[in-house]
Amino acid sequence: MSRRRPALRRLSGTALAVATLVAGATPASAADGTSPTPAPTAAESAAQDRAASDDEAVAGIVDYPGNPVTEPALVADEEDRLADVQTVGRMIQWGKLPVLGAYRLSTGSAYTLVLTRRSEPYVLADLLELGPQTFVREPDGAYILMENIVVQPGARLVLSDTGPLTIRMASDTDRFVSIVNLGGELEIVGTKASPVTLTSWNRDGGQVDTATEDGRAYVRSVGGKVTLERATFSNLGFWSGRTGGVALTGVDRPSEGALEEYGRDLGDAVATNNHANGIDVRYGTVPATSAPVVDPAAPQGADSLTAATDGSPVEGLLPVGTLPVPYTDDEDPEYSYVSAKVENVTFDGNAFGLFVSSANGVDISRSTIKNSMVDGLVMHRYVVNAAIADTVSSDNAGHGIVMARATTGIVVSGVTSRRNGGSGVVVRGAALASGPSATGMPVGDYGNNSISNSRTDENARFGIEIIGGRNISLSSNDVTGNDMGIVVREAASDVTLVGNHVEDNLRHAIALRDAATDVEITGNVISGALTGVYVRDSAALVERNTVNRVTNHAVTVTGATTGTVVTENTISGRGPSAVDVKRADAVQVGENDASTWVSTKPFWTHVRNALQPLTIMWLSLALVLIATALKGTRHRMRGLQHPYEAQRRLAELVEPPVVPAVVPRDGTQLAAGRHGSADAGGAA
């Protein structure tokens, strides 16, 4: 048996009469201090299945302090309670039952006050009148809320005051309450002089509730319209995004199955009742007076169900006759999407700071999200056309800002995300499925998101992380002091990183990996990192960037990187090399200015690099050419000597010695060479 069936059958009989505690009525159990009978605990397996839908949001979780067994079960119980409230409302509407004004249901461990359609908004004075024992003003001026509130389509709840307004939502060990807008309008609006504060409150300890294992008060809108201004939401929520503090959700994939099941259960009960009273609905023998009449002035309890005019008792709130089976329309704007304006709001100490899912046209500005137990701001799924501006998300245990899969058209500008346990900003754009799946999810990827003029500082993981998706733009952002600056991975495509200032990140300033394609990295200023731009198994244009104060490589390209171009970058720093592409395939390296780069390669590294086989071959060939050229030069020098130079030298060796001239006593001089014959003649 499913976990929903017991709760639905509990409402299908005479217990359904609790819906008749209408406008201004007070439950008898509240008067004597007793509590309604708690709903049965859900099976843990079903609870875990329900909680699994939020797996993306909790990816950045760090040491969540709650209970992984009890909290998912409480989430499931809350879903059951809201389904019961929706179903009763639909049956009253389609059955045309004359239920006038607000009414109260006994649901689980607390009552639920249901605000129905009317032209005037419900305000503080109405809550004091409708629940004089469950909405009480305390001596310090704050209000304490001790029952759940549900706002139906056509109803509008406005929480504001002429002075500062504080609402403490009961959050004890045995019960917690919530405010849920089911397709209506919820306005929590303060002013600078008169802000509004909603917080959990442990009545036993007289303080805010910081424990989540037994559940904790929360605020949620399922479809409809929400306006939050000048307000603070603190210490709210537990475990899942939709119960995580403040949640703005629609219906991811509306389903009519649960309501149809409930309709069948009620139909069985009514059919049994009709049969007992001899009524045959096949032939239209349905007394016109068979529907119960709800009297707002009737006393509390089951007695407020008046009998039919013929005096016969009637159980339940359904007319006999053809049973209208409720359903949820996939196109119903009341539940499919939520629209919201959030301005000057603080979310402090919640499980999830602000959780948004299935929303169209959410506008978040000038707000602060901090100290969340999981992630700060989460755009979960099917969020479209949202704007986040001038907002700070800091000191959260997980990621600062998350845009999960199936979000598109998100414009982020002027935000700051710092000191988070995960990444500053995470953008996921991968497909929800890679092929046929049990839920039939689409296989296309998502994107068209942009982040500009923002800061991501001192996050434990990455400054900005892009995981899959397409058409994503990061421009003019400051990314400082993270483990890595900007990371693009998992087949993300058509990504532009332009004009960003990426400074003093520990490892890579900008990293592309795992088949990222068509990525443009242009005009960025990168300063202080181990590696400036790291490209692995991806394709990118790395052009006209300024890289300085890096200590390994300014640009590293490795793996299958066909189509990557590195050109016109201005590079300075120290390391083995400015541009490292020796492990990459088909990289085009153009003209880069690395004139001030200081190489830190050791001498023997240069020698070892020089003594590569190919280098030795070319060096040997060069030496051969040099030797040949020198030999030819010597031959040409010999050709310039006298042809009989050798003989001339021999002649010098055999030439007779020169005889000195003899000078006669009379001072005459004989001709040289002839003195021998003259002497001889004279002697003769």
Q: Convert the pLDDT of each residue in 343-391 to its tens digit.
A: 999 999 999 999 999 888 899 999 999 999 999 999 998 898 899 999 9
Complete DSSP assignment for 67-128: -TTHHHHHHHHHHHHHHHHHHHHHHHHHTT----S-EEEEETTEEEEEEPP-SSPB-HHHHH
pLDDT in tens, 327-355: 334 334 444 678 899 999 999 999 999 99
- The per-residue pLDDT for range 219-237, each reduced to its tens digit, is 999 999 999 999 999 999 9
In a shared domain, residues 416 and 273: no
**Residues 271 and 415 reside in one and the same domain:** no
Asked if the model's pLDDT at residue 297 lies above 80, the reply is: no
pLDDT digits (tens, 9 = 90+) for 428-470: 988 777 778 676 766 666 788 999 999 999 999 999 999 999 9
Q: How far separated are the first and last CA of the chain, in Å rounded?
A: 167
Residues 350 and 467 in one domain: no
- Pairing state between β 135-137 and 143-145: antiparallel
Confidence tier at 36 by pLDDT (50, 70, 90): very low
- Please state, in angstroms and rounded to a whole number, the distance separating the CA atoms of residues 324 and 113: 24
pLDDT of 96 over the 80 cut: no
For residues 413 and 361, membership in a common domain is answered with: no
Alpha-carbon distances of 394 from 209, 372, 467, 484, 534, rounded to whole Å: 21, 9, 21, 18, 28
Distance between CA atoms of 64 and 73, rounded to whole angstroms?
17
Q: Does residue 328 sit in the same domain as residue 442? A: no
Please report which confidence band the pLDDT of residue 157 belongs to, taking 50, 70 and 90 as the band edges: very high
- The two tokens of residue 546 are 């300024």
Q: Are 84 and 106 in contact (CB under 8 A)?
A: no
Task: Supply the mean pLDDT for the chain.
Answer: 78
Same-domain pairing of 250 and 315: yes
Residue 217 confidence class, pLDDT cut points 50, 70, 90: very high
Q: How far apart are CA 522 and CA 99, in angstroms?
A: 65
SS3 assignment, position 53: helix
Backbone CA torsion sign across 167, 168, 174, 178:
positive
Mean pLDDT across 115-129: 95
- Residue in the structure block whose two tokens are 């795992």: 514
Q: Is residue 468 part of a domain?
A: yes
What's the longest Cα–Cα distance across the chain?
198
Quote the pLDDT of residue 453.
97
In angstroms, rounded to a whole number, what is the distance separating the alpha carbons of residues 551 and 572? Answer: 10
Last residue of a domain, one of 378, 410, 441: 378
Q: Using alpha carbons only, how large is the chain's radius of gyration in Å? A: 44
pLDDT at residue 319 tops 60: no
Determine contact, residues 233/194, Cβ cutoff 8 Å: no
pLDDT band at 642 (very low <50, low <70, confident <90, very high): low
CA angle 389, 391, 396 (to 5 degrees): 140
Q: What is the mean pLDDT of the segment spanning 297-304? A: 35
Copy the structure tokens of residue 533: 């731009």
CB under 8 Å to 532, separation ≥6 — which residues?
508, 509, 510, 526, 545, 547, 550, 553, 554, 555, 571, 573
Q: What pLDDT sits at residue 91? A: 82
Which value, to the nearest 10 degrees, does the dihedral of the CA atoms of residues 629, 633, 636, 641 take? -160
354 and 414 part of one domain:
no
Angle between helices 4-12 and 70-94 (to 10 degrees): 40
| Residue % of the chain over a pLDDT of 70 | 68
Nearest-5° angle of CA 169, CA 175, CA 181?
50
pLDDT per position as a tens digit, 573-627: 999 999 999 999 889 999 999 999 998 866 555 556 656 677 777 778 888 888 8
Q: What is the pLDDT of residue 652?
A: 63
Of 206-220, 243-257, 304-318, where does the model show the most confidence?
Answer: 206-220
Residue of 148, 167, 157, 223 lying closest to 187 (CA atoms)? 157
Backbone angles phi, psi at 10, to 5 degrees: -65, -30
pLDDT band at 246, cuts 50/70/90? Answer: very high
Q: Quick check: 545 and 536 in contact, CB under 8 A?
A: no
Q: Which helix (H) or strand (E) holds 624?
A: helix 613-638
pTM as predicted: 0.73
Dump strand ranges (E) for 146-251.
Answer: 148-151, 156-159, 165-170, 178-182, 185-189, 196-201, 218-222, 224-234, 245-249
CB 310 within 8 A of CB 321: no
Answer yes or no: do 453 and 336 share one domain. Answer: no
- Give φ, ψ of 284 to 5 degrees: 70, 15
Residues 525 and 456 in one domain: yes
Residue 61 near residue 372 (C-beta atoms within 8 A): no
Instruction: Measure the CA–CA gap between 14 and 5, rounded to whole angstroms.
Output: 16
pLDDT band at 52 (very low <50, low <70, confident <90, very high): very low
Per-residue model confidence (pLDDT) at position 261: 44
Query: Element (H or E) spanning 30, and its range?
Result: helix 28-31
pLDDT (mean) for 135-143: 96
Give 562's pLDDT tier (boundaries 50, 70, 90). Answer: very high
320 and 403 fall within a common domain = no
Residue 515: band (very low, low, confident or very high) from pLDDT cuts 50, 70, 90: very high
pLDDT of residue 92: 82
d(CA 145, CA 134): 6
Q: Which one of 610, 626, 642 terminates a domain?
A: 626
How high is the pLDDT of residue 88? 87
Residue ranges of the alpha helices (H) in 142-279? Answer: 257-276
Which helix or strand (DSSP H or E) is residue 432 part of? none
Identify which of 13-17, 173-177, 538-542, 674-678 has the greatest average pLDDT: 538-542
Separation of alpha carbons 16 and 91, rounded Å? 11
Backbone angles phi, psi at 374, to 5 degrees: -125, -115
DSSP letter assigned to residue 211: -
Confidence at residue 415, expressed as pLDDT on a 0 to 100 scale: 98
Please identify, among 578, 600, 626, the residue that sits at the C-terminal boundary of a domain.
Answer: 626
User: What pLDDT band is residue 310 in, cutting at 50, 70 and 90?
Assistant: very low
Q: With bands split at pLDDT 50, 70 and 90, how would you rate the model's confidence at 109?
A: confident
- pLDDT of res. 436: 83
CB 319 within 8 A of CB 286: yes
Distance between CA 357 and CA 338 in Å, rounded? 8
- Percent pLDDT > 90 in the chain is 55
Angle between helices 257-276 and 70-94 (to 10 degrees): 60
Q: What is the pLDDT of residue 339?
A: 86
| Residue 500: half-sphere exposure toward Cβ, Cα within 13 Å | 30
- Report if residue 679 sits inside a domain: no
Q: Can you read off the two tokens belonging to residue 670?
A: 């004989």
Same domain for 365 and 407, yes or no, is no
129 and 264 share one domain? yes
Domain count, the chain: 2
Q: Which domain holds residue 340?
A: 1-378
Return the number of other C-beta atoms located less than 10 Å from residue 515's C-beta: 17
